Structures are given as structure tokens and as C-alpha cells.
């Protein structure tokens, strides 16, 4: 059974705030309501692409598959959302998770995806007991390929336009700051 992140995760620059039912409801209400509930500036560039996904993070209408779990990455000193990380149990195997991430366009190429994903990966391996983490990305998305390599993922397969990556505890690099 999937374990839900029920507390914030912290990195040097980020607070990863888990999406709760109240936060998902605020996302459905719009940018201003969401910013008010999460207590951070929610830039329009991030909200346009990610707010609908946050709003669906708690939905149980996905059938037998559990709804994804998501954490919103907030810059700790600026109080501004820089991106989010999604992770959910895989349908393939127990103790296997799939991870995904997005970063606001103006915040890319600053290490936020690596920093946020490292915190979630640490939590999945150390607290949840994950044995494998998967990630998929478009074959043409060079930035995501670099991020996944930096995180220690290994290319597992590339059917069509999607590269599939795998990470296990023994493949993890020493990324500690």
C-alpha cells in the first residue's frame, strides 16, 4: 500500500509541501486561493501548467490506481513556488514508484529539479521502503535526461519517444551537500 507524504520535506533552498485535500481544493478554486492556502507566491507561469495537476492529486476517480502523490516545491527564502514533484506507486510491482517533476520555466537550469527530487527519493527509499523508482521522459528532452542522470537513474528502455529510467538504492550517487 502506498504511503502518503504527510509532512514537509526540507532541502537547503526548498520546502516540499505535500498536497493535502485542502490544498487540492484550493487549486481547483484558482491561483489566488491556492497561494493563500499554501502560504507562498504562486507564479502564473507555474500555475498555468501545474495547478490543474495539483487539483487532481487527491482525486480517487482514477479507478483502481491510487491517485498520485505530489509535493509543491517552495523556495524557502523567497516564499515562491518553483516547481513540484509527483510520485506514485507503480502498477508493475510492490515497493516500486514512479517519479516526475516540473519546474517553472524561469527557474530552470538552477538545480531545483535535482534538489527537490533528491529529497523525495531519499524519503521513498529511507522511510517508505521503495526498492525501485522509475522515471520516464521524452527522448528529445535533454534537460530531463541530464537531471535523471545526475540523480543516479540508469536508462532501462526506450520504446518509441519515451526513455524509461530506473533507480535502486545501490545505484544512488552520493548527492549529499
* Average pLDDT of the residues in 115-140: 92
Confidence check: pLDDT of 150 > 50:
yes
Confidence check: pLDDT of 119 > 60:
yes
- Residue 134 located in a structural domain: yes
Query: 4-8, 103-107, 129-133, 150-154: lowest mean pLDDT where?
Result: 4-8
- Residue 176 located in a structural domain: no
Show the domain range for 46.
9-171
The C-alpha cell at 109 is 537550469
Helix runs in the chain, H state only: 21-29, 31-38, 44-55, 112-123, 142-150
pLDDT of residue 38: 94
> Starting from the edge strand earliest in sequence, which strands make up the sheet with 9-10, in order?
9-10, 14-18, 69-75, 80-89, 96-103, 132-138, 162-167, 154-157
pLDDT of residue 60: 55
The confidence band for 61, taking pLDDT boundaries of 50, 70 and 90, is very low
What phi and psi, each to the nearest 5 degrees, are found at residue 156?
-100, -45
The number of distinct structural domains making up the chain is: 1
Confidence check: pLDDT of 161 > 90:
no
What digits encode the pLDDT tens for the residues 85-110? 999 888 778 888 999 999 999 999 99
- Residue 67 located in a structural domain: yes
pLDDT of residue 1: 44
- Residue 127 located in a structural domain: yes
- Residue 86 located in a structural domain: yes
More confident residue, 52 or 160: 52
The confidence band for 59, taking pLDDT boundaries of 50, 70 and 90, is low
- Residue 1 located in a structural domain: no
Of the chain, the percentage scoring pLDDT greater than 70 comes to 88
Say how many residues make up the chain. Answer: 177
What digits encode the pLDDT tens for the residues 16-54? 999 988 888 899 999 999 999 999 999 999 999 898 888
* Average pLDDT of the residues in 76-90: 92
Domain harbouring 86, CATH code = 3.40.630.30
- Residue 122 located in a structural domain: yes
- Residue 38 located in a structural domain: yes
Amino acid at each position: 500500500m502506498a504511503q502518503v507524504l504527510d509532512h514537509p520535506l526540507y532541502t537547503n533552498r526548498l520546502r516540499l509541501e505535500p498536497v493535502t485535500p485542502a490544498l487540492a481544493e484550493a487549486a481547483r478554486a484558482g491561483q489566488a486561493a491556492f497561494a493563500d492556502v499554501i502560504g507562498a507566491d504562486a507564479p502564473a507561469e507555474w500555475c498555468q501548467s501545474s495547478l490543474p495537476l495539483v487539483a487532481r492529486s487527491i482525486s480517487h476517480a482514477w479507478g483502481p490506481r491510487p491517485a498520485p502523490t505530489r509535493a509543491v516545491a517552495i523556495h524557502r527564502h523567497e516564499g515562491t513556488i518553483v516547481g513540484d514533484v509527483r510520485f506514485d506507486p507503480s502498477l508493475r510491482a510492490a515497493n516500486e514508484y514512479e517519479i516526475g517533476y516540473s519546474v517553472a520555466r524561469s527557474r530552470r537550469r538552477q538545480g531545483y529539479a535535482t534538489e527537490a527530487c533528491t529529497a523525495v527519493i531519499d524519503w521513498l527509499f529511507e522511510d517508505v521502503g521503495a526498492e525501485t523508482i522509475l522515471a520516464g521522459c521524452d527522448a528529445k528532452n535533454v534537460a530531463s535526461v541530464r537531471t535523471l542522470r545526475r540523480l543516479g537513474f540508469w536508462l532501462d528502455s526506450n520504446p518509441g519517444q519515451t526513455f524509461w529510467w530506473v533507480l535502486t538504492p545501490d545505484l544512488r550517487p552520493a548527492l549529499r551537500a
